Structure 1
Amino acid sequence: MKQFTLYNPRQPLARQQLLKKFDKPQSEYDAYFIREDNHLLVYEEKFHTYPLTSSRRPGETKLIADQFEMPLSGVRWFIDVIEQRFFKSPEEGGLPADKISYEDIVDGEELHVMRVVYAGCDHPGYDITNGSRYSYISSRSLQTLALSDPWLFRDGLMGFLKEIASQYEAGRL
């Protein structure tokens, strides 16, 4: 399995193609969508300033960054899971009423989508986890990306993901 380095928006590597930068809704994070080889990388960062009353680092500003990685074919898989599993009734081929998650192996990587009440902000949405890759923040946690409903459906993320999937399938990405 290909390993990646943490994206640096101030000094990207030549092999990394920035597809789009989003300001995550209701979040202090910026999200960068990058293509590297046959993978989509989603790098998120924010600057955190410790309160002056903090006993650890009063007034210090620190960059907090993490990255989610999955095969580009996983973008279409994610879209299909949302539209065919979560949006349809069990009679139409969707998930059973008592299931809130779906997982599969996509190009050798274990991807998992779960419906969540809190998708990184004050809105419900979906978490996508790559069970084959560990977080850059904690080597004990898996890479997970929180996608709120407003970000996906109101602010254009789902349309952008559909563009990526179509371009990849047409050989243009």
Structure 2
Amino acid sequence: MQLLNPFQLDKNYQILYDRPSLNENEEDETFKVIIGEKLLILQNICPPTFGEDIPGFSVDQIELPYIANQWLINTIEDKFWKSAAQGGLPSGTYSYKEEVNGEKLALYREMNVGAKNQKGFRLTNFSRPSRIYDDDDFQDFFITDLMLLEGGLLDALKQL
């Protein structure tokens, strides 16, 4: 697979979520959820800072098996957003790794995602190489709590 251009998608792909990012540092950033070919693809699209990934834009992209959508929702809601007493991860645990449909995935709880003091997650797929950086044999992607909750991303993922 290659980096997708969301403005020229193959008929096998469909954009299911397309909203302005709520990231304070990126006013012109757009967050997209694309499905196709048994994949769930998350993208952030913005004007280029250090060069174009597609004509006119920089793109951050992560590819996951489609079935990983449920894993992502459950890990956020049941592991990170619940206390240990409620069945969540133990206090002081900020990462969760699991193999999903043969792919090694990890979710990390982080601060300063998108902007100073903004909470969120770093999602990593260790089974797929970066589509942007030749030296990276993994894909990283950042999602803010703001995007998940106020941006409606979590609800959109639940509809898949």
The answer, yes or no, to whether TM exceeds 0.5 is: yes
Given that 1:6 and 1:43 are in contact with CA atoms closer than 8 Å, whether structure 2 keeps it comes out as no
Residue 72 in structure 1 maps to residue 52 in structure 2: no
Given that 1:121 and 1:148 are in contact with CA atoms closer than 8 Å, whether structure 2 keeps it comes out as no
Alignment CA distance shift 1:49-1:66 (3 Å):
closer
Asked which structure has the greater CA Rg, the reply is 1
**TM alignment of 1:114-153, pairs within 5 A:** 114-122=108-116, 123-141=118-136, 142-153=138-149
Provide the C-alpha distance between the structure 2 equivalents of 1:151 and 1:10, rounded to a whole number of angstroms: 22
Provide the C-alpha distance between the structure 2 equivalents of 1:136 and 1:124, rounded to a whole number of angstroms: 26
Given that 2:62 and 2:140 are in contact with CA atoms closer than 8 Å, whether structure 1 keeps it comes out as yes
Amino acid of the residue matched to residue 98 of structure 1?
Answer: G
Alignment CA distance shift 1:5-1:87 (3 Å):
same
- The equivalent residue for 1:15 is 12
Provide the C-alpha distance between the structure 1 equivalents of 2:79 and 2:49, rounded to a whole number of angstroms: 41
Over aligned residue pairs, what C-alpha RMSD do you find? 2.0
Secondary structure of the structure 1 residue equivalent to 2:88: coil
Given that 2:49 and 2:58 are in contact with CA atoms closer than 8 Å, whether structure 1 keeps it comes out as no
Amino acid of the residue matched to residue 78 of structure 2?
Answer: Q
| Of 98, 107, 116, the match for 1:104 | 98
Please state how far the C-alpha of 1:9 moved relative to its aligned partner. 2.2
Q: Which runs of 5+ in 1 are unaligned?
A: 51-56, 165-173
Amino acid of the residue matched to residue 10 of structure 1?
Answer: F
The CA deviation string for residues 71-125 of structure 1, in whole angstroms up to 9 with x for no partner, is 1111110111111111222233211112101010000111101100022233111
Q: Percent identity?
A: 30
Aligned residues: 152
Provide the C-alpha distance between the structure 1 equivalents of 2:122 and 2:46, rounded to a whole number of angstroms: 19
Provide the C-alpha distance between the structure 2 equivalents of 1:5 and 1:138, rounded to a whole number of angstroms: 12
Q: Which runs of 5+ in 2 are unaligned?
A: none
Given that 1:124 and 1:148 are in contact with CA atoms closer than 8 Å, whether structure 2 keeps it comes out as yes
- The equivalent residue for 1:39 is 39
The CA deviation string for residues 24-82 of structure 1, in whole angstroms up to 9 with x for no partner, is 112232222111121111232211368xxxxxx9xxx9532231100111111011111
Q: Provide the TM-score with structure 2 as the length reference.
A: 0.85
Range 104-113 or range 87-96, more displaced: 87-96
Alignment CA distance shift 1:12-1:94 (3 Å):
same
- The equivalent residue for 1:167 is none
